[in-house]
Amino acid sequence: MQSAPSFDTWTSGFLFAVAMGIFLFVVLIAGQNKRNYPIALLVLAFSSILFSYVLFWTKYHIQLPYFNTFQFIGYYAAGPLLYSYLLKLHNIKMRFFYLHFAFAFLSIALTLFIWSQYIFNFSISVGSINKWLSNYILIIVHLAFYLFLMLQLIKKNNRATTEFEKIRLKWVKVLIALYTLFLCCYISYYILINFSFFNNQWDYMISISMSIAIYTIGYFVYKVPQIFDGEFFSEVFLPIENKSDSFEDHLLNEFYSNLINYIEREKPFKDNELRLANLADKIGYSTHLLSKVINKKSGKNFNTFINDYRLLEAEALLRSNNDGHNVKTIYFEVGFNNKVTFYKAFKKKHNCTPTAYKKSKHL
């Protein structure tokens, strides 16, 4: 007699991880940064893999068989999604987009077809397709193929001469390392399963490692703005040169003066995609040095420092009589990426909205 489906501590924890993955997916999508969409979908794909595992371990896969193909979608989408993200980082267009996702689309079509059988109460055997897609050798080859493509991408773009390129290269290597961990965990299952000591706990540990790999990718991508601003990334991934050395005040003053002159002359803050690494390249400083100059001399972090200049520019536009400056869109003209951030920063400084400020200056 078959035991009834049930959850234990492990499977309950994995189900919570699935929920967290879905939450992270929503957060990344809500950020409306299209470059992050592939990673958002990658996190969702892995959540579907983990959900299928939970159903199998708890034996709910027998009662809910229409979810069993979720894992195939995840496996066949993982490689192309991460590869797509890395291409976007290098501003390279993905060729043959639909071909890359052919297996993932086939898995989605199979899932929808199985669902339709339960909804409309008919039965057509899809066992051969299901068996073919579930072949672990095919899955390993597919995952490994995209690891190869990503390594080739690094090989072709490993010349990092600017601060931004150095950060990007480090970032790409971290993502590929985590993807490799994910692949190694999957392969290890089919190696260890042949040994007598293998049990559910080993299976759980492999899944934990896979979860760590994928959700770490998702978390890091959520932190991408801080990473490419340099405040987070330079401390975690970039070696800090002469960390124990102290800068003389007159040297810091000189660096800061050069920075202010450049900002007031060129107004780089109007670039909505401006990052600390980009600004460091423009004025010839290292990312760490520029971050230290801003922090020491202004007492602000990079984002606050740049946003203060954006607010000054916005104030000048609001005070002008030029009707071409729409209050609702002025945030984009001065370099803010979204209206919410602009209004929040403006209200914090002036205790009123941009509209109220404009009216008060034209009474």
Over 80: is that where the pLDDT of 164 sits?
A: no
pLDDT in the model for residue 235: 45
pLDDT in the model for residue 225: 56
Q: What is the pLDDT of residues 191-228, one digit of tens each?
A: 888 888 877 777 787 778 777 877 777 777 666 555 55
61-75, 129-143, 162-176, 213-227: which has the minimum mean pLDDT? Answer: 213-227
SS3 246: coil
Is-contact 215 20, C-beta < 8 A? Answer: yes
Residue 156, class by beta-carbon neighbours within 10 Å (0-12 exposed, 13-18 middle, 19+ buried)?
A: exposed
The stretches of the chain forming alpha helices (DSSP H) are 9-30, 37-58, 70-89, 97-100, 102-120, 127-133, 136-156, 163-192, 200-222, 224-229, 233-236, 249-266, 276-283, 287-298, 302-319, 330-333, 339-350, 354-361
Share of the chain above pLDDT 90, in %: 25
pLDDT in the model for residue 210: 72
Q: What is the mean pLDDT of the chain?
A: 83
Confidence label for 124 from pLDDT (cuts 50, 70 and 90): confident
pLDDT in the model for residue 100: 96
How many Cβ atoms are within 10 Å of 329's Cβ, its own excluded? 9
Q: What is the 3-state secondary structure (H, E, C) of 66-90?
A: HHCCHHHHHHHHHHHHHHHHHHHHC
Which is more confident, 343 or 288?
Answer: 343
pTM: 0.70
SS3 47: helix
Confidence label for 133 from pLDDT (cuts 50, 70 and 90): very high
What's the whole-number mean pLDDT along residues 118-131? Answer: 86
Over 80: is that where the pLDDT of 140 sits?
A: yes
pLDDT in the model for residue 107: 94
Over 90: is that where the pLDDT of 170 sits?
A: no
Choose from 210-224, 242-256, 329-343 the range with maximum mean pLDDT.
329-343
Eight-state DSSP code of residue 268: G
pLDDT in the model for residue 151: 96
Over 90: is that where the pLDDT of 168 sits?
A: no
Which is more confident, 251 or 346?
Answer: 346
132 closest CA partner among 61, 72, 80: 72
What's the whole-number mean pLDDT along residues 180-191? Answer: 88
Q: What is the pLDDT of residues 57-73, one digit of tens each?
A: 888 888 888 888 889 99
Which is more confident, 360 or 162?
Answer: 360
pLDDT in the model for residue 77: 95
How many Cβ atoms are within 10 Å of 219's Cβ, its own excluded? 12
Q: What is the pLDDT of residues 9-20, one digit of tens each?
A: 888 888 888 888
Taking the C-alpha atoms of residue 265 and residue 253, their distance in angstroms, rounded to an integer, is 18
pLDDT in the model for residue 211: 77
Over 60: is that where the pLDDT of 239 sits?
A: no
What's the whole-number mean pLDDT along residues 49-61? Answer: 89
pLDDT in the model for residue 231: 43
pLDDT in the model for residue 237: 44
Taking the C-alpha atoms of residue 363 and residue 355, their distance in angstroms, rounded to an integer, is 13
